[in-house]
């Protein structure tokens, strides 16, 4: 037992290095997913009809593919048409674009659930469309999106080990490297699991705190679930 | 000169002709009550005035500007026209005072301190200074509607539109909203109200417009409309509505 604990601590720097890579992949993917997702949501709501249709198709396709297939197409497939994308960027692209399809749905749902009367009220006091969007719709949409966004963040975090398949030295891969020389799979994988769980818990807690800070009566954002 | 002129306003939704050539003038200081059966286009008419639902044809001339013309800066013109909504439409993420202040801050670019003072003044006007820090979800219906009125007043409008301001309220909360409206009328505000509150129409308005099926059937002073209308239909409608909502 003591042996195992010492062994885990000896290998902790490597594992933490991997955990940092996992967090990097997650945060960058979520950010990419946020930018693209917002754009997709807005275009699907307010864009010209053909663009709306195209955005619907975009969401539909990305939601319909296994993430590993998306990653393999980007990393192993695209080089044959002359597009060589480094492994790390491929992972962020794959996870980020897939997330953008889900985030687009979260933002679209939030915007749609805000009544048209809110827009009319903004217009009636002399705001133009942009100001109404900025000061009336967006602040409410962010609040309404937060629970869904938190969930999506944790999903991307838990999917980040798939970057392993592209040879990226994230947490699981680091663990695997240690196992290859030490033959202690149970101890190491259990340690990986604990680190993932702690990361999950940390981000979940962080977003709940944010939700509580910006909670407004009438919106339920931080109810413990 | 008329503050508001409506000329031959027509509006349809699909094949449904909601307004069929409505015209009338509003002079500064007028308090006009529009009545009529539901589905006659009263609310649509109000929403034509501030172009939330632009008319298909006709002219909406506010303070000399025809809002139906291309190139008119609607956001600028709408500042002259306050609107109070049936379901309040308060900004749910903002406290009462911020609901009132946001227009002058973001549209008028008034600084924080001045906007706050102005918003406080408007909240005092509707009797809600004590509730300034509450969110809409923490206010009663009557309080929400008074915040809605204060929000519209903060822009210093020339004209106020009331779209059934009391019909979503519990009976005991109607009075506080009507009192605010009455005070406004006494201060000389020009008001165009769609309402079934016949007591208000009788005692506060100087003109009642009776609409049916997208047209004005009859308009005149409350005295004439209640006591001696030209049309039987006006009489029977007013009689019925007064029974329901109280005419005294």
- Four-point Cα dihedral A10, A14, A16, A21, nearest 10: 180
For B87, the token pair is 């379901």
Residue B246 confidence (pLDDT) = 62
Sheet holding B65-66, edge to edge: B16-27, B2-13, B57-62, B65-66
CB contact set of B231 (below 8 Å; sequence gap of 6+) = B210, B217, B218
Compute the half-sphere exposure of residue A150: CA atoms within 13 Å on the CB side of its CA: 23
- Categorize the per-residue pLDDT at A220 as very low, low, confident or very high, splitting at 50, 70 and 90: low
The verdict on A113 touching B (C-beta cutoff 8 Å) is no
Predicted confidence (pLDDT) per residue in A123-146, tens digit: 999 999 999 999 999 899 989 999
- Give per-residue pLDDT as tens, B149-188: 999 999 999 999 999 999 999 989 999 999 999 999 999 9
Q: CATH no. for residue A220?
A: 1.10.3720.10
Answer yes or no: do A121 and B135 touch at CB < 8 A.
no
DSSP per-residue string spanning A144-204:
HHHHHHHHHHHHHHHHGGGGGGGT---HHHHHHHHHHHH--HHHHHHHHHHHHHHHHHHHH
pLDDT of residue A222: 57
Cβ-Cβ contacts under 8 Å, B75 against chain A: 123, 126-128
3 state SS of B59: strand
Q: Which stretches of chain B sit within 8 Å of chain A by CB?
A: 50, 52, 74-76, 78-79, 81-83, 85, 87, 89-93, 102-103, 106-107, 135-138, 151-152, 154-155
Give the structural domain span for A91. 2-224
pLDDT at A145: 94
Distance from CA of A12 to the nearest CA of B (A): 45
What tens digit of pLDDT does each residue of A38-58 get? 999 999 998 999 999 999 999
| φ, ψ at B134 (rounded to 5°) | -85, 150
Q: Give the chain A residue whose CA is nearest to the CA of B78.
A: A126
pLDDT digit string, tens, across residues A70-92: 999 999 999 999 999 999 999 99
Nearest chain A alpha carbon to B157? A125
Compute the average pLDDT of residues A196-203: 97
- On average, the pLDDT of chain A sits at 93
Q: How far apart are CA B101 and CA B115, in angstroms?
A: 6
ipTM of the complex: 0.93
The pLDDT, as a whole number, for residue A214 is: 87
Q: Which residues of B touch A122 (CB under 8 A)?
A: 91
Supply the pLDDT for residue A90. Answer: 97
Question: What pLDDT, on the 0 to 100 scale, is given for residue A215?
Answer: 86
Number of CB atoms found within 10 A of residue B212's CB: 19
| Residue A223 pLDDT level (bands cut at 50, 70, 90) | low
Between CA A118 and CA A127 the distance in angstroms is 12
For tokens 């003072």, the residue is B117
Q: How many domains does chain A have?
A: 1
Contact criterion met (CB below 8 Å) for B62 and B2: no
Please write the tens of the pLDDT for every residue from A145-185: 999 999 999 999 999 999 999 999 999 999 999 999 988 99
Parallel, antiparallel or unpaired: strands B207-212 and B31-35: parallel
Q: Would you state the pLDDT for residue A224?
A: 44
Give the integer Cα–Cα distance in Å for A30 and A99: 7
Per-residue pLDDT for chain B (248 aa), expressed as one digit of tens each? 799 999 999 999 999 999 999 999 999 999 999 999 988 999 999 999 999 999 999 999 999 999 999 999 999 999 999 999 999 999 999 999 999 999 999 999 999 999 999 999 999 999 999 999 999 999 999 999 999 999 999 999 999 999 999 999 998 999 999 999 999 999 999 999 999 999 999 999 999 999 999 999 999 999 999 999 999 999 999 888 888 776 54
Residue B33 and residue B193: Cα distance in Å, rounded?
5
Name the nearest CA neighbour of A60 among A42, A79, A44: A44
How many CB atoms lie under 10 A from the CB of residue B6? 23
3-state SS, residue B16: strand
Contact at CB, B93 and A135, closer than 8 angstroms:
no
């020339």: which residue's tokens? B158
pTM confidence score? 0.84
Cα–Cα nearest to A95, from A154, A146, A42, A55: A154
């Amino acid at each position: 037992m003591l042996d195992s604990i010492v062994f885990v601590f000896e290998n902790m720097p490597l594992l933490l290095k991997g955990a940092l890579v996992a967090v990097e992949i997650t945060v960058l993917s979520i950010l990419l997913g946020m930018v693209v997702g917002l754009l997709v949501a807005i275009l699907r709501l307010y864009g010209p009809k053909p663009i709306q249709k195209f955005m619907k198709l975009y969401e539909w396709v990305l939601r319909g593919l296994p993430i590993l297939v998306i990653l393999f197409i980007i990393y192993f497939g695209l080089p044959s048409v002359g597009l060589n994308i480094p492994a790390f960027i491929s992972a962020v692209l794959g996870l980020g674009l897939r997330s953008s399809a889900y985030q687009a749905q979260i933002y679209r749902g939030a915007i749609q659930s805000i009544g048209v009367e809110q827009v009319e009220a903004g217009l009636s006091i002399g705001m133009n469309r942009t100001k109404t969007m900025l000061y009336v719709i967006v602040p409410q949409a962010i609040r309404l999106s937060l629970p869904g966004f938190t969930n999506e963040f944790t999903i991307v975090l838990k999917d980040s080990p798939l970057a392993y398949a592209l040879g990226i030295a994230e947490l699981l891969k680091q663990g695997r490297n240690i196992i290859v020389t030490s033959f202690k799979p149970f101890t190491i994988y259990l340690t990986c699991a604990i680190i993932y769980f702690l990361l999950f818990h940390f981000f979940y807690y962080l977003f709940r705190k944010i939700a509580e800070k910006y909670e407004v009566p009438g919106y339920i954002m931080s109810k413990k679930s | 000169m008329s503050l508001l002129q409506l000329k031959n306003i027509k509006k349809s939704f699909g094949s449904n002709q909601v307004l069929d050539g409505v015209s009338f003038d509003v002079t500064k200081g007028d308090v006009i009550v529009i009545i009529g059966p539901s589905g006659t286009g009263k609310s649509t008419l109000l929403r034509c005035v501030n172009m939330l639902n632009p008319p298909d044809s006709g002219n909406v001339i506010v303070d000399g500007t025809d809002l139906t013309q291309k190139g008119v800066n609607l956001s600028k013109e709408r500042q002259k026209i306050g609107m109070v909504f049936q379901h309040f439409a308060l900004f749910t993420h903002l406290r009462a005072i911020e609901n009132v202040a946001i227009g002058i801050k973001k549209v008028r670019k008034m600084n924080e301190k001045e906007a706050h003072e102005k918003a406080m003044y408007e909240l005092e006007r509707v009797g809600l200074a004590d509730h300034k820090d509450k969110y809409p979800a923490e206010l009663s219906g009557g309080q929400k509607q008074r915040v809605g009125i204060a929000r519209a007043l903060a822009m210093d409008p020339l004209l106020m539109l009331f779209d059934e301001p009391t019909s979503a309220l519990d009976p005991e909360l109607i009075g506080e909203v009507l009192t605010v409206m009455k005070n406004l009328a006494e201060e000389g505000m020009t008001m165009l109200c769609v309402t079934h509150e016949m007591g208000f129409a009788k005692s506060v308005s100087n003109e009642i417009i009776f609409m049916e099926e997208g047209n004005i059937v009859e308009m005149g002073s409350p005295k004439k409309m209640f006591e001696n209308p030209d049309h039987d239909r006006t009489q029977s409608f007013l009689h019925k509505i007064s029974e329901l909502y109280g005419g005294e």
